[in-house]
Amino acid sequence: MHNPEPPFRVPPQTGGFPTAGFPTAGDLAGGDPAAGDALAGYLHARAGDFLRSLRQHEESGSDTEAAALAARSLRMASRRIAGTLHTFRPRLDPVWADGLRAELSWLSGTLAQEYACTVRLTRLLGALARLSGTTGTASTASTADRADGTAERGQLSMGAARAAALLERQLTLARTRAHSTALQALGSARFHAVADAVAVLASEAPVVPAPGTLPTAAGDAERRLLDAVAALPLGRAGHPYNAEALFSGLAGAPAEEAQDAPWHRVRRLLRLHRYALEVLGPQTDPLLRQAGGLLDRHRDAAEAAYAAAGAARTPRIAPATAYALGVLHADQRHEVEAARFAFQEVWQGSSTVRAAL
């Protein structure tokens, strides 16, 4: 394991995160106690989720499905705590918040890899089946429940079958590696330090009194999201079949990454905004969730397209395999464009709804 030196160190004087010395929401007198309660309460609850998931993961034993579910919950709790530490940083000790956030981001990033490989393989095998006309519908499977396409491969054209076998080999290897890396991470001293800090957070959240700042901080998160959305080429995305996502599709990954980056940024900011709303109240905006789901689809399709292009660079593959991977790459870039179109529809729709209220 070659994890970099953690940028976040446990202060030696407390033997843990410097939370004990901070006032918690319960200590706050006057100011904005309800808001302080909301933030501390949210952090307590997510820290509880984190610890519960960790226990479930430890108890899963040889039940790989239970282990995967527990890892997923652990990842979701980590992301929510990290996002909250980021958005509500003004109400927290900034050094402590930044340090724990970086560690939680490392953890959720590490845990995400295995799941991402499964999703990518399922998506690519589903697309190859569709492109070969061996599935009933033209829609792409987006669930990750079945990544084993061996049975279907028999009905694919030779190029498609070889492409499927190549992708299955490469992504299964990547998934196995990601699984080992995740297990190593969960057994590391670095992880145990994070888990200790979250254990403290489950009962004591170091929220500092700063009246009225909770909605302000959430508002700042929303503004960052709106600014990032304003920078998107939504007008262009609103014209179906604009061929934008495949523009320079043969010019290599950097060209595609450059056009995808603003969308990925909005995806992250939308998630932070959603988490901030969760802190402020239990109500969730279904349009926001839908918009986030479309940006997830955008990201998944972009990564699948990238994987197809990468597989095509494998030495000594047959031209028929390369051809199928080219079709697959373009198909997934088309999905990227479709996700942008759908996001734009939902976003403009939600703006219209809000303006009418």
Residues engaged in binding a copy of itself (CB under 8 A):
128, 130-133, 138-140, 156-157, 159-160, 240-244, 246-252, 255, 312, 317-331, 334-335, 337-338, 341-342
Break the chain down into helix, strand, coil percent, rounded to 5: 70, 0, 30
Dihedral sign, Cα of residue 71, residue 72, residue 74, residue 78:
positive
Cβ-based nearer residue to a copy of itself, 110 or 140: 140
Q: Tokens for 122, please give them.
A: 């399922």
Residue 95, CA distances (Å) to 19, 43, 327, 351 in order: 11, 17, 49, 37
Phi/psi for 210 (5° steps) reads: -160, 85
Smallest distance from a copy of itself to CB 165, Å: 14
Smallest distance from a copy of itself to CB 307, Å: 14
CA distance 66 to 37: 33
Smallest distance from a copy of itself to CB 255, Å: 6
Q: Are 64 and 55 in contact (CB under 8 A)?
A: no
Cβ-based nearer residue to a copy of itself, 118 or 132: 132
Cβ-based nearer residue to a copy of itself, 9 or 241: 241
| Cβ count near 244 (within 10 Å) | 17
Cβ-based nearer residue to a copy of itself, 10 or 317: 317
Cβ-based nearer residue to a copy of itself, 40 or 305: 305
Smallest distance from a copy of itself to CB 130, Å: 6
Smallest distance from a copy of itself to CB 128, Å: 7
Q: What single-letter amino acid sits at 227?
A: D
Cβ-based nearer residue to a copy of itself, 84 or 344: 344
| Cβ count near 316 (within 10 Å) | 5
| Torsion region of 62: left, alpha or beta (phi above 0 gives left; psi -120 to 50 gives alpha) | alpha
Q: Tokens for 281, please give them.
A: 């109240």
Smallest distance from a copy of itself to CB 347, Å: 16
Q: Are 308 and 325 in contact (CB under 8 A)?
A: yes
